[in-house]
Copies of this chain bind each other. A is one copy, B any other.
Amino acid sequence: MLFLQMGWGDLGVYGEPSRETPNLDRMAAEGTLFPNFYSANPLCSPSRAALLTGRLPIRNGFYTTNAHARNAYTPQEIVGGIPDSEQLLPELLKEAGYVTKIVGKWHLGHRPQFHPLKHGFDEWFGSPNCHFGPYDNKARPNIPVYRDWEMVGRYYEEFPINLKTGEANLTQIYLQEALDFIKRQARRRPFFLYWAVDATHAPVYASKPFLGTSRRGRYGDAVREMDDSIGKMLQLLQDLRVADSTFVFFTSDNGAALISAPEQGGSNSPFLCGKQTTFEGGMREPALAWWPGHITPGQVSHQLGSIMDLFTTSLALAGLTPPSDRAIDGLNLLPALLQGRVMDRPVFYYRGDTLMAATLGQHKAHFWTWTNSWENFRQGMDFCPGQNVSGVTTHTLEDHTKLPLIFHLGRDPGERFPLSFASTEYQEALSRITQVVHQHQEALVPGQPQLNVCNWAVMNWAPPGCEKLGKCLTPPESIPKKCLWSH
């Protein structure tokens, strides 16, 4: 499973004009492309928690109640993480005899009880948080890189990232980890690889052979390196003759971060706004399934898909059924992939504790609209650069619950033309969506919110293994406080 941070419009096959993803484009040509596939959240951590639990962040606890409709994630001062009560995909796959590995960013909490090897992964090479930095190791430590249980260094130290030149070998290191794992496991036991590298996230980096090679600048260099890496993994599966017994899925955790554009941000192509928002640009994702000999090459599936479906689909591939003691939001995509079926299902767009929008069929209803605050916007933070749809891309949190804004995403993928409230189409769409939303909300049992409390003392001061490396730092006094989430 390949899980990256790229926008819907960043792949050649999704229309990026520089067309610099030949390997992903070939993966699409040999597999199935989903044009209507969604993340579970417009932000990284909640999306990843949803992917691995098959459950919306509102259920698995990856949200905040500190304020209404606020995006929250797992910076290193976060106290929470993935609860033990959640059953993660690797935990379940292990029961079916799978060897499981995560390469790259975990992002479900960095304190010891949240360690990926405590939640079903056999192996880990990567880091618990994003590669933000460099820090001075006094007010804030640099993010550690782990091999399995113990740290092996820190970003900007043993794992250098040159922010000025943009050079870093991280993606190559992560690629090698993946190739080694595949080589080692391919002919032994069934395996589950979650390749969640952190490149293309700002600050953007690439290794020397890719730096300066893109027509799109540094972000394009990083995309080219991702694409090249994926090509090498698929090629290895073919060389090892296990391609026909290996299901590969590529998608992304949220829309391209347009606040980092143009130097460090990607493309959501025709869609409105980007990361942090519940417009299509924030949550519609590129998605490719590849399974030679099983999936007919070159298909397009208009199935509404979700990253949570990867949970249920992976279980189905392993001959397992999802847990029956809890609500699971993921759908098994195999009927869509193997029989071309399209199943009716809603897509819910949450921001923190708030259901902002829902899509059913081709109609999307917005119950709330918000980009970011006027204050943030006036400071230059723009989630929708160059875009402005009156009454839609609002800078105050607007309540439309009594009269939702409805768009037809086929005729109007850019969410520019709300349907007339008086139209029959509006009335019919509203009635269908309202019914599904009521069902959802009536049955909903929100999880204990994990992203409310922050504490500087819990940061990555002294991760396991730091003693051996002489890299333990002294934490400050423990002062729990409410995390501040500004959008």
Contacting pair A408 B262 (CB below 8 A): yes
Contacting pair B15 A272 (CB below 8 A): no
Given contacts A269-B269, A411-B219, A385 and B19 within 8 Å (CB-CB): no
Tell me if A48 is interfacial: C-beta within 8 Å of chain B. Answer: no
Contacting pair A386 B385 (CB below 8 A): no
Please give, as numbers and ranges, the residues of chain B lying within 8 Å of A410 by CB-CB distance: 17-18, 214-217, 220
Please give, as numbers and ranges, the residues of chain B lying within 8 Å of A16 by CB-CB distance: 15, 270
Please give, as numbers and ranges, the residues of chain B lying within 8 Å of A417 by CB-CB distance: 261-262, 385
Please give, as numbers and ranges, the residues of chain B lying within 8 Å of A60 by CB-CB distance: none
Tell me if A388 is interfacial: C-beta within 8 Å of chain B. Answer: yes
Please give, as numbers and ranges, the residues of chain B lying within 8 Å of A54 by CB-CB distance: none
Please give, as numbers and ranges, the residues of chain B lying within 8 Å of A386 by CB-CB distance: 272, 387-389, 414-416
Measured CB to CB, the closest approach of chain B to A393, in angstroms, equals: 8
Tell me if A35 is interfacial: C-beta within 8 Å of chain B. Answer: yes
Tell me if A413 is interfacial: C-beta within 8 Å of chain B. Answer: yes
Measured CB to CB, the closest approach of chain B to A152, in angstroms, equals: 35
Contacting pair A411 B35 (CB below 8 A): no
Please give, as numbers and ranges, the residues of chain B lying within 8 Å of A13 by CB-CB distance: 13, 15
Tell me if A126 is interfacial: C-beta within 8 Å of chain B. Answer: no
Measured CB to CB, the closest approach of chain B to A16, in angstroms, equals: 8
Please give, as numbers and ranges, the residues of chain B lying within 8 Å of A263 by CB-CB distance: 411
Among A216, A220, A389, the most chain B Cβ lie within 10 Å of the Cβ of A216
Closest B-chain residue to A417, C-beta based? Answer: B262
Complex Cα distance A262/B33, Å? 25
Complex Cα distance A453/B30, Å? 56
Measured CB to CB, the closest approach of chain B to A387, in angstroms, equals: 6
Assembly stoichiometry (copies):
2
Please give, as numbers and ranges, the residues of chain B lying within 8 Å of A415 by CB-CB distance: 386
Among A12, A15, A409, the most chain B Cβ lie within 10 Å of the Cβ of A15
Contacting pair A15 B9 (CB below 8 A): yes
Closest B-chain residue to A407, C-beta based? Answer: B262
A interface, over-half SS: loop
Closest B-chain residue to A29, C-beta based? Answer: B29
Closest B-chain residue to A218, C-beta based? Answer: B411
Tell me if A450 is interfacial: C-beta within 8 Å of chain B. Answer: no
Measured CB to CB, the closest approach of chain B to A264, in angstroms, equals: 10
Given contacts A362-B215, A387-B388, A270 and B272 within 8 Å (CB-CB): no
Kindly list 13 other residue pairs between chains A and B, CB separation below 8 angstroms, not including A385-B416, A386-B387, A387-B387.
A12-B300, A15-B270, A16-B270, A18-B35, A29-B29, A215-B302, A215-B362, A217-B410, A261-B412, A267-B270, A386-B415, A386-B416, A387-B388
Contacting pair A9 B408 (CB below 8 A): no
Complex Cα distance A389/B384, Å? 11
Please give, as numbers and ranges, the residues of chain B lying within 8 Å of A409 by CB-CB distance: 17
Tell me if A36 is interfacial: C-beta within 8 Å of chain B. Answer: yes
Tell me if A14 is interfacial: C-beta within 8 Å of chain B. Answer: yes
Contacting pair A36 B17 (CB below 8 A): yes
- Within residues 396 to 416 of chain A, which ones have a CB less than 8 A from any CB in chain B? 408-416
Measured CB to CB, the closest approach of chain B to A307, in angstroms, equals: 18
Contacting pair A408 B217 (CB below 8 A): yes
Please give, as numbers and ranges, the residues of chain B lying within 8 Å of A33 by CB-CB distance: 19
Measured CB to CB, the closest approach of chain B to A92, in angstroms, equals: 33
Q: Choose among B216, B219, B416 the residue that contacts A261 (Cβ–Cβ < 8 A).
A: B416
Complex Cα distance A236/B136, Å? 69
Please give, as numbers and ranges, the residues of chain B lying within 8 Å of A214 by CB-CB distance: 410
A-B contact pairs, 14 of them (CB 8 A): A12-B300, A17-B36, A18-B35, A18-B302, A18-B410, A215-B302, A215-B410, A217-B408, A261-B416, A263-B411, A269-B270, A385-B417, A386-B387, A386-B416
Complex Cα distance A444/B445, Å? 72
Chain A 1-41, CB-CB to B under 8 Å as 1, else 0, gives: 00000000100111111110000000001000101100000
Please give, as numbers and ranges, the residues of chain B lying within 8 Å of A19 by CB-CB distance: 33, 35, 300
Measured CB to CB, the closest approach of chain B to A14, in angstroms, equals: 5
